[in-house]
Amino acid sequence: MNGKVEIKNATPGDAPSVAEIGRLTFYETWRPVNTEEDMQLYLESSFNEKQMLAEITDQSANTFLLAVLGDEPIGYVKMRRDRTYDEFKNEKSIEIERIYVKKKFQDQKIGKLLMDHCIELAKSENSVWIWLGVNNENVKAIEFYKKYGFEIFGTKKFILGTAVDEDFLMKLNIENV
């Protein structure tokens, strides 16, 4: 990788790039274990440009951090402030809903760079917890989160088209980082 990766807040003008990265990375990761029909249903509902624009624009609920190399958007993270679990006993929490990096840039520490920015954002907002859901078969991601100190605290269902998958819920106490 030549050049420096910049992490910036996504703007409404970045919605097409965010949607493209989301569709591409989700498809590459999950197509081998899902039907094409289920994939298309999920991709259209979750990664269309109109949906991305609405989510990026709702800055009270969401923050999108975009990883850019030169002029090329190569990954992003979506953080949410509008969901929580009883597990956090009303302590302030923030969710990492998505952390996606284009396949050709994986294993180049882009995910680490994005995660480090997530932790800094959570600290700057005085969150006590960062939490996320991760497919229980995504061993690579689970190990990545465990390296940061995330621990499993439950499970949830994830609907992908007509399929129902199971995700682990993982949490990290920011005060320990």
Would you please indicate which residues are annotated as catalytic (active-site) residues? 145
Largest CA distance in the chain: 45
Rg (CA), the chain: 16
Give the Cα separation of 120 and 177 in Å (integer): 10
Q: Phi and psi at residue 104, in whole multiples of 5°?
A: -70, -10
Give the Cα separation of 157 and 103 in Å (integer): 26
Give the Cα separation of 160 and 75 in Å (integer): 21
Give the Cα separation of 83 and 140 in Å (integer): 25
Q: Look at residues 24, 9, 163, 19 and name the one whose alpha carbon lies nearest to residue 104.
A: 24
* SS3 at position 116: helix
